[in-house]
Amino acid sequence: MGEELKVIVFKLGEEEYGIEVDKVQTIERMMPITRVPKTYSFVKGVINLRGVVIPVIDLRGRFGLPETEYTDQTRIIIVAVNEMEVGFIVDSANDVMDLNSDVIDSPPDVVGGIKAKYLHGVARISEERLLVMLNLSEVLNRSEIIQLESLED
């Protein structure tokens, strides 16, 4: 029997994704983002959240998906990656789910246009519902983390 995982479920387009709850600090509504020059195009800038400056990444841009207008449903999920806080802009985040690690399969090469290296696996929730589990350490690779860390100074 696999271990129980609690995951935050969020959407990008029609696909549902999951991040383990223990990696998520908070989920925030969209707020003003200060642009930062000379960063990757998917780095939208930084936010000041309760006195902490946090770099913000548009996950659509990160995964090479078409970017869309932000709506009332758009959220910023603040996660801790390698002892650094980063905000991920997602289309919506509206569910917490208990998941047994047994239902998570290795990811196929590409899911919804996203390369497997960004994915931890795919959880089959039901016949019609799949949850794509993110591999946070790959979503931000080392050189990007170094660049983002310089934004916090």
Q: What is the per-residue pLDDT for 1?
A: 66
Task: Return the closest-CA partner of residue 10 out of 125, 67, 94.
Answer: 94
Q: What is the per-residue pLDDT for 27?
A: 96
Q: What is the per-residue pLDDT for 35?
A: 93
Q: What is the per-residue pLDDT for 80?
A: 87
Alpha helix stretches (DSSP H) within the chain: 59-62, 136-139, 142-152
Instruction: Lowest mean pLDDT of 10-19, 58-67, 68-77, name the range.
Output: 58-67
Task: Return the closest-CA partner of residue 78 out of 104, 53, 99.
Answer: 53
Q: What is the mean pLDDT of residues 5-13?
A: 93
Q: What is the pLDDT of residues 30-55, one digit of tens each?
A: 999 999 888 888 889 999 999 999 99
Average pLDDT, the chain: 85
Q: What is the pTM of this model?
A: 0.86
Is pLDDT of 115 > 70? no
In the chain, what are the domains?
4-152 (2.40.50.180)
